[in-house]
Amino acid sequence: MSLTRTTRRSGITLILLGLIGAAFFWLTDPRYGPAVGRGAGWYDPRTWVFTLRGTPSNLIDAANEASVATWVGIAGSAAVVLVGLWLLTRRTV
């Protein structure tokens, strides 16, 4: 397998992982993520997001604490995406 092909595959993999990571941090953020808890009666398909976030006693404190972690996680995911893009744009040696 050529080095160029392996590098491009690594770039695509890093881009996908960065996007998945950013989606995870967005989904688990109580302030910017999707609204949960307003389900359809007995079944709420978004309860797993509520389970990931936990059940804090004070929602405002939970949003403030999670906000920093969300921004750091999204910044790290963006860095992974940028490295993946850089690997995709490399010229052949």
Question: Is-contact 31 69, C-beta < 8 A?
Answer: no
Model confidence pLDDT, tens digit, residues 13-70: 999 999 999 998 888 777 777 766 555 555 555 666 666 666 666 666 667 777 788 8
pLDDT at residue number 25:
87
Higher pLDDT pick, 3 / 45: 3
Question: Is-contact 75 18, C-beta < 8 A?
Answer: no
Alpha helices in the chain (DSSP H): 3-27, 47-53, 59-89
Cα(71)–Cα(3) distance, integer angstroms: 34
pLDDT at residue number 16:
96
Exposed/middle/buried for residue 1 (C-beta within 10 Å: 0-12, 13-18, 19+): exposed
Cα(9)–Cα(68) distance, integer angstroms: 32
Residue 86: pLDDT above 90? yes
Residue 49's SS3 state is: helix
As given in the structure block, the two tokens for residue 12 are: 């695509």
Q: What pTM was computed for the model?
A: 0.70
pLDDT at residue number 90:
82
